[in-house]
């Protein structure tokens, strides 16, 4: 069962390792990212941030989609983290069971605009989010579980 699908450019850090896994009672974190699986240093860093008693799986986006669709992840209370809105769209396009998306944080860049304290989006990100919302995916902005949900549609 997927308990949360989150966009966060930092992937695994304190907010996810402690706040979100505790709030969602997650027992497995899936990092779905094509770059990390090729980077041993990043993989090691992520493994160090893993909370005790919680499994950490790092897969490419395609392998993540295959695993979710195969049902192999159904036995877990799964928290999925992707690095970007583009990655989230690819994951959701491939997994019809993902019905909601939490926007946690993306990096600011010269081609982005800030829509919340930690969310910076490009025009393409905005188009992708609008498409997901038009398909019925709930998209909310919230850094921590105790924060008030903000409907992303109101800020895009």
10-residue averages of pLDDT along the chain (156 residues): 96 89 96 96 92 95 98 96 98 97 94 93 96 97 94 91
Residue 18: predicted pLDDT: 87
Rounded to two decimals, the pTM is 0.95
Architecture per CATH, domain 2-154, reads as 3-Layer(aba) Sandwich (3.40)
Residue 17: predicted pLDDT: 85
| Residue 3: partners with Cβ closer than 8 Å, 6 or more residues away | 24, 25, 26, 77, 78, 79
Residue 16: predicted pLDDT: 87
Residue 15: predicted pLDDT: 84
- Every domain of the chain and the residues it spans: 2-154
């Amino acid at each position: 069962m997927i308990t949360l699908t989150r966009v966060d450019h930092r992937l695994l850090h304190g907010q996810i390792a402690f706040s979100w896994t505790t709030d969602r009672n997650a027992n497995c974190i899936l990092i779905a990212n094509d770059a990390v699986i090729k980077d041993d240093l990043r993989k090691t860093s992520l493994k160090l941030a893993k909370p005790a008693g919680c499994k950490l799986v790092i897969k490419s986006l395609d392998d993540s989609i295959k695993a979710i669709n195969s049902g192999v992840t159904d036995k877990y209370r799964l928290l999925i983290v992707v690095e970007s809105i583009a990655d989230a769209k690819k994951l959701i396009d491939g997994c019809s069971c993902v019905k909601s998306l939490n926007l946690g944080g993306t990096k600011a860049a010269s081609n982005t605009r800030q829509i919340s304290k930690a969310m910076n989006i490009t025009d393409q990100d905005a188009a992708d989010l609008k498409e997901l919302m038009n398909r019925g995916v709930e998209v909310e902005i919230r850094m921590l579980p105790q924060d008030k949900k903000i409907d992303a549609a109101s800020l895009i």
